[in-house]
Amino acid sequence: MIGIIGATGTTGRGLIATLKEKGADFRCLVRDTAKAAETLGSDVELVQADLGDAASIQAGLQGCDKLFLLSGHSPVMVEQQLNAVNAAKAAGVTHIVKLSGGSFIIQEDSPAMIGRGHWQIEQEIRNSGLDWTFLRPGFFMQNFLNMAEAIKGMGKVMMPVPADVGLGMIDVRDTADAAATILTSEGHAGQVYELSGPNITPAEAVAAIGVAIGKEITFVQVPMEGAIGAMKGRGMPD
């Protein structure tokens, strides 16, 4: 039995769809079971759990041998995921598959709080005595969905990177497909998988969006400070 934390997000929904196709035995731990059933389907086993409540996670993971761990970026991400790690161990889980951040940001002294957080969680999992697998994806293509309003309104994409720098972009559906394989097969313990699709420049990606919608989209490189302000405006932490 696979326990899933993070089932209702973008990557999680893709993972659940693939696990269903594979006929895998899994259970999703969610805050709101009624809402999750609407999102994931009534054929998915759901149990109520709160990442702030380790006891609820431990109860939800009873009978699970593997855990897929994903939670949103927030100031309490570390506390919540460590709750899950400790609860998993107490519940008898033997293998944690964690969706982490990109390798370039996961450092003890990363300037980004999110990078430091993932680093700390990974270290705790490594020291937990459990088997582990870390997935470190590249730039999510779905990030462009956050720019949909600017594309629709101004025909522009604004990012703090040069138009011609190659990025290891990945569609979150591919991350989900890879995670589903890892969760349903053996031989992945102790592995750090850096996941990326083809090396694509922002200009190429933006051009592809333009082709798909029949409209020319302009790429604009903006100062980092402006991008940080925009991301904070969307509620992202430091």
Partner 1 sequence: MGIAADGNMASYGNNLIETLAGHAPRTPADFARDHAGAFKG
**Interface residue list for partner 1 (CB under 8 A):** 101-105, 107, 110-112, 115, 138-145, 148, 151-152, 160-161, 165-171, 173-174, 177-178, 181-182, 193-200, 204-205, 208-209, 211-213, 224
Closest CA to 177 of 154, 195, 162: 195
Q: Please say which residue, 124 or 204, places its beta carbon nearer to partner 1.
A: 204
What is the distance between the alpha carbons of residues 151 and 64, in angstroms, rounded to a whole number? 44
Nearer to partner 1, 55 or 213 (CB): 213
- At closest approach, how far in Å is the CB of 136 from partner 1? 9
Least distance in angstroms from the C-beta of 84 to partner 1? 23
Q: Looking at beta carbons only, is 47 or 112 nearer to partner 1?
A: 112
CB of 65 to partner 1, least distance (A): 20
Output 42 or 185, the one with its CB closest to partner 1: 185
Q: CB 159 → partner 1: shortest distance, Å?
A: 8
Q: Report the residue number, 14 or 60, with the smaller CB distance to partner 1.
A: 14
Closest approach of Cβ 25 to partner 1, in Å? 20
Report the distance separating Cα 151 and Cα 205, nearest Å.
Answer: 13
